[in-house]
């Protein structure tokens, strides 16, 4: 038995990364939210940073959609649930429209989502039309909603771009180049919105600029041209209450901020009570049965982490007591004895794991991977610039996603503690891909 709901949905894509997808998705979400519409936004692929901006723009949680990592059924369920409560659903693509396995185009084709392409036109004129035409015609069966020119130099430039299109009906307008709504970046992606005092002002400026385009002038009636019938199984599998009665402490601050909102939902669905703390600012851990140290930017906060000796003692005591710990990427980095940053600073960190982490200028690993655990296989990804040098022997390694190949070995899974209660890896897990396996990370006894 299935259920169906109908709602306007738009997937915002581009020919490559860095074209302005996030800016346009945020501007569109902010514009319609200001007009009183209920907007939900999703991010295609495993991204932690864009969702901070998208959530600020829409006022609602942002989840990930990926036909492999989250799974087709999971994508269908999340889109359907959002559509039931929304006037507009926006999906921001990943990289270029056809990049990746699976790609944003694959997602759009699977669910019949109309695609809006954003092209950085700052250094082109007539070629804009050729690029737009190529994106539209490259694959049969994609539903297109037009093209928007970004970082345009002048109104005259915009006219040239519009006239270059073979199909004038595809023109959705131009956003001029402006520092007022520029979203700054650093080595792992966008700077988080919470780090910028003028984040909302930037989004409002982007929304104001978009309001002057054909795209921004679409009202509730015009949005119906993007309507999609979203179908889902009436009842999905129940999540077992394996963490019922347990309290899981989650590190969450500027140093530990790579957290999928859906992972928190999964832990709650497993029955866990979640409490949050800041390793940067708090003197100790909250009362808890298990600990999750997610990824983030420990390399940007090495001094503050090193100086919080009370937190170091609390985490060491938690591990020594045999309580479970799951540490991923940045969370694992903080557990080592030393951290060397890319600018040659060295900080002593928590020392729970022997060895040193070194941040380098180039990417060390990137891509979708999966990790086998006692409860089953978790899907996820890896993306980091650091490497670790440790005498610990891995107890397991991640494997590439089906159809992909690893460059070198998979990510190591390390264990430590009196009962092997600490598990750590560079691997970022998507808990909902296997809730039983996710629960095993936070239980003393295997489920």
- Please report, for residues 330, 436, 438, 439, 446, the alpha-carbon distance to residue 375 in angstroms, rounded to integers and kept in the order given: 24, 5, 8, 8, 7
- Please report, for residues 65, 175, 205, 217, 231, the alpha-carbon distance to residue 155 in angstroms, rounded to integers and kept in the order given: 36, 10, 18, 18, 43
Query: Which two structure tokens, joined as six digits, stand for 149?
Result: 């020119």
pLDDT tens column, 304-326 = 999 999 999 999 999 999 999 99
Last residue of a domain, one of 233, 261, 292: 233
Query: Does any domain span residue 240?
Result: no
Say how many C-beta atoms besides its own lie within 10 A of residue 366's C-beta.
13
Residues 44, 102: Cα–Cα separation, whole Å:
10
pLDDT of 160 > 50? The answer is: yes
Same domain membership, residue 256 and residue 229: no
Report pLDDT for 446: 44
Same domain membership, residue 38 and residue 187: yes
pLDDT tens column, 419-433 = 999 999 999 999 999
Residue 403 confidence class, pLDDT cut points 50, 70, 90: confident
Query: Does any domain span residue 8?
Result: yes
Least confident of 24-33, 291-300, 351-360, 361-370: 361-370
DSSP 153-197: --HHHHHHHHHT-SSGGGEEEEEEP-GGG---EETTEEPPGGG-T
Least confident of 106-115, 229-238, 259-268, 283-292: 229-238
Query: Does any domain span residue 447?
Result: no
pLDDT of 156 > 70? The answer is: yes
Same domain membership, residue 273 and residue 180: no
Residue 187 confidence class, pLDDT cut points 50, 70, 90: low
Same domain membership, residue 349 and residue 288: yes
Query: Does any domain span residue 6?
Result: yes
pLDDT of 193 > 80? The answer is: no
Report pLDDT for 433: 96
Last residue of a domain, one of 175, 202, 233: 233
pLDDT of 447 > 50? The answer is: no
The answer to whether 77 and 232 are in contact (CB under 8 A) is: yes
Give catalytic residues, as residue numbers. 329
Residues 66, 104: Cα–Cα separation, whole Å:
8
CA 315 to chain centre: 27
Query: Average pLDDT of 402-416?
Result: 88
Same domain membership, residue 362 and residue 256: yes
Query: Does any domain span residue 242?
Result: no
Assign residue 120 the CATH number of its domain. 3.40.50.300
Same domain membership, residue 261 and residue 228: no
Report pLDDT for 179: 86
For the chain, report the end-to-end CA distance as a whole number of angstroms.
31
Residue 186 confidence class, pLDDT cut points 50, 70, 90: low
Residues 157, 170: Cα–Cα separation, whole Å:
17
Query: Average pLDDT of 92-121?
Result: 96
Partners of 430 in the beta sheet? 379
Same domain membership, residue 262 and residue 212: no
Report pLDDT for 188: 61
pLDDT of 337 > 80? The answer is: yes
Instruction: Output the pTM of the full model.
Output: 0.94
- SS3 of 124, please? coil
Same domain membership, residue 411 and residue 264: yes
Query: Does any domain span residue 103?
Result: yes
pLDDT of 58 > 90? The answer is: yes
Query: Average pLDDT of 220-240?
Result: 87
Residues 250, 270: Cα–Cα separation, whole Å:
15
- SS3 of 102, please? coil
The answer to whether 112 and 149 are in contact (CB under 8 A) is: no
Number of domains into which the chain is organized: 2
pLDDT of 209 > 60? The answer is: yes
Report pLDDT for 198: 87
Is the preceding omega at residue 102 within 30 degrees of 0, hence cis? yes
Query: Does any domain span residue 262?
Result: yes
Same domain membership, residue 206 and residue 57: yes
Q: Which of 397, 398, 442 is nearest to 422 (CA)?
A: 442
Q: Which of 52, 42, 108, 53 is nearest to 81 (CA)?
A: 42
Same domain membership, residue 310 and residue 197: no
- Select the more confidently predicted residue: 101 or 31: 31
Query: Which two structure tokens, joined as six digits, stand for 291?
Result: 């600990």
Same domain membership, residue 377 and residue 272: yes
Assign residue 333 the CATH number of its domain. 3.40.50.880
Is the preceding omega at residue 168 within 30 degrees of 0, hence cis? no
Same domain membership, residue 110 and residue 185: yes
Report pLDDT for 236: 64
Query: Average pLDDT of 249-270?
Result: 96
Residue-range definition of the domain harbouring residue 134? 2-233
- SS3 of 41, please? strand
Instruction: Please report which helix (H) or strand (E) contains residue 227, including its range.
Output: strand 227-233
Query: Does any domain span residue 303?
Result: yes
Partners of 119 in the beta sheet? 149
pLDDT of 98 > 80? The answer is: yes
Query: Average pLDDT of 225-231?
Result: 95
Report pLDDT for 420: 94
CA atoms lying within 13 Å on the CB side of residue 400: 11
Say how many C-beta atoms besides its own lie within 10 A of residue 231's C-beta.
13
- % of residues, the chain, pLDDT over 70: 96
């Amino acid at each position: 038995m299935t259920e169906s709901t109908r709602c306007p949905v738009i997937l915002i894509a581009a020919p490559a990364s860095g074209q302005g997808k996030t800016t346009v998705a945020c501007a569109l979400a902010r514009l319609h939210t200001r007009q009183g519409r209920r907007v939900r936004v999703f991010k295609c692929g495993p991204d932690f940073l864009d969702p901070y901006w998208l959530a600020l723009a829409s006022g609602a949680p942002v989840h990930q959609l990926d036909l492999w990592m989250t799974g087709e059924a999971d994508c269908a369920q999340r889109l359907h649930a959002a559509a039931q409560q929304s006037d507009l659903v926006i999906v921001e693509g990943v990289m270029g429209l056809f990049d990746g396995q699976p790609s944003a185009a694959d997602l759009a084709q699977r669910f019949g989502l109309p695609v809006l392409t954003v092209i950085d036109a700052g250094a082109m004129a007539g070629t804009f039309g050729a690029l737009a035409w190529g994106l539209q015609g490259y694959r049969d069966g994609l539903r297109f909603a037009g093209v928007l020119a970004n970082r345009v130099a002048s109104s005259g430039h915009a006219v040239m771009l519009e006239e270059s299109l073979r199909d004038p009906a595809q023109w959705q307008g131009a956003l001029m180049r402006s520092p007022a709504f520029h979203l700054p970046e650093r080595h792992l992606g966008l700077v988080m919105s919470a780090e910028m005092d003028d984040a909302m002002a930037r989004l409002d400026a982007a929304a104001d600029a978009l309001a002057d385009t054909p795209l921004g002038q679409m009202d509730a009636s015009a949005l119906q041209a993007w309507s999609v019938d979203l179908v889902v199984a009436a009842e999905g599998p129940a999540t077992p209450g394996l963490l019922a009665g347990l309290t899981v402490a989650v590190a969450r601050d500027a140093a530990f901020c790579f957290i999928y909102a859906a992972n928190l939902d999964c832990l709650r669905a497993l029955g866990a009570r979640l409490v949050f703390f800041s390793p940067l600012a708090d003197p100790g851990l909250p009362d808890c049965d298990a600990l999750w140290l997610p990824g983030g930017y420990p390399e940007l906060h090495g001094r503050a982490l090193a100086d919080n000796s009370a937190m170091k003692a609390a985490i060491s005591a938690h591990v020594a007591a045999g309580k479970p710990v799951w540490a991923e990427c940045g969370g694992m980095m903080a557990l080592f004895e030393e951290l060397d940053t890319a600018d040659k600073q060295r900080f002593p960190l928590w020392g729970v794991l022997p060895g040193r982490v070194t941040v380098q200028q180039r990417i060390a690993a990137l891509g979708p991977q999966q990790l086998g655990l006692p409860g089953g296989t978790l899907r996820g990804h890896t993306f980091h610039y650091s490497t670790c040098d440790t005498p610990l022997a891995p107890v397991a390694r991640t494997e590439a996603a089906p159809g992909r190949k690893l460059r070198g070995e998979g990510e190591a899974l390390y264990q430590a503690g009196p009962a092997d209660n600490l598990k750590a890896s560079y691997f970022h897990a998507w808990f909902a891909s296997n809730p039983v396996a996710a629960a095993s990370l936070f239980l003393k006894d295997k489920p």
